[in-house]
Amino acid sequence: MSEPTTKNNSSTTGPLKIIVLGDSAVGKSKLLERFLINSYVGARCSTFAVNIFKHTAKVDGKQFDIEFWDTAGQEKFNNIHHSYFHQADACIMIFDATRKITYKNLDRWYNELRDIRPHIPCLCVVNKVDVAMEVTKKSFSFPKKHDMPLYYVSAADGTNVVRLFRDAIRLANAYRTGDTQDFIDQVLRELEVG
């Protein structure tokens, strides 16, 4: 894996930027809402087709300012605005455990992301496992192929949602500080050992 060469297009100060990607109705907003359920969300800035949630979290004893970016309906244009990806530090890619097409479409989302952010860490998520428990016995080639950790989550009952976002914050921070691969390896190991 090549080192991220992002000194010039990733801001080194300011909040971490974490974006979510995936088809319409896979539960992107629901997952964010579940993670932020107990928090005061500093500013919920809604512009056309983008929702930004500002948040402060303590992970591994360190305080982080984070901006979560949610697409809010840009999916239908088949083309997300570049500013959505601009200076992102990590990306959460989500598909729906009940709809195969949302898994198949991950390739498209991935290509769109990589055109603009070739090196940022990605986390793969299968949501709605509460209604499709059988997927938790399956492995998926998309995350494996791209060296992403896979999370089996449910925004409805909360399964693994907080774990997912904490890992996303860790990875985003690792990307900022330039040691992404070590962290991805560590996160993958933790998920495998369980």
Partner 1 sequence: MSSSTSIKMQKLGVRFRPPTIYLFYTDVSTGKLRRRTVVLDDFTKDSDITDYANELHDDKTTKKRNLFRYVPLRRLERLLFVVKEGLTANISKNDIEKKLRKFDELDVNEDLNKLDDGTLKHKKLIMNETFEKNRVDPSSKNFVYDVVVDFEPTPGEKQTSEWDSTDEIEEDIKQDDDDFEDDDDFK
Edge-to-edge strands, sheet with 90-96? 44-47, 50-59, 62-70, 16-22, 90-96, 122-127, 150-152
Q: What are phi and psi of 108, to 5 degrees?
A: -65, -45
When the beta carbons of 129 and 174 are compared against partner 1, the nearer one is 129
Cα-Cα-Cα-Cα dihedral sign, residues 101, 37, 35, 111 = positive
147-176: contacts with partner 1 (CB under 8 A): 152, 154-163
Query: Which CB atom, from 95 or from 175, has the smaller least distance to partner 1?
Result: 95
Q: By CB under 8 A, name the one of 25, 42, 83, 189 that touches partner 1.
A: 25
Q: Give least dist CB 105 to partner 1, A.
A: 7
Check residue 30 for interaction with partner 1 (CB under 8 A).
yes
C-alpha 141/C-alpha 121 separation (Å) is: 17
| Interface mask toward partner 1 for 45-74; x: CB under 8 A | ----------------------------x-
Distance CA 181, CA 104 (A): 26
C-alpha distances out from residue 183 to 6, 15, 35, 37, 121, Å: 17, 19, 22, 27, 9
Indicate the residue among 116 and 156 with the shorter CB distance to partner 1.
Answer: 156
d(C-alpha 90, C-alpha 169), whole Å: 8
The residue from 2, 63, 141, 177 that contacts partner 1 (CB under 8 A) is 141
Q: Is 182 in the site for partner 1 (CB under 8 A)?
A: no
Footprint on residues 100-139 left by partner 1 (CB under 8 A) = 100-101, 103-105, 130-131, 135-139
Residues forming contacts to partner 1 in the complex (CB under 8 A) are: 23-25, 30, 37-38, 73, 75-76, 78, 98-101, 103-105, 130-131, 135-142, 152, 154-163, 194
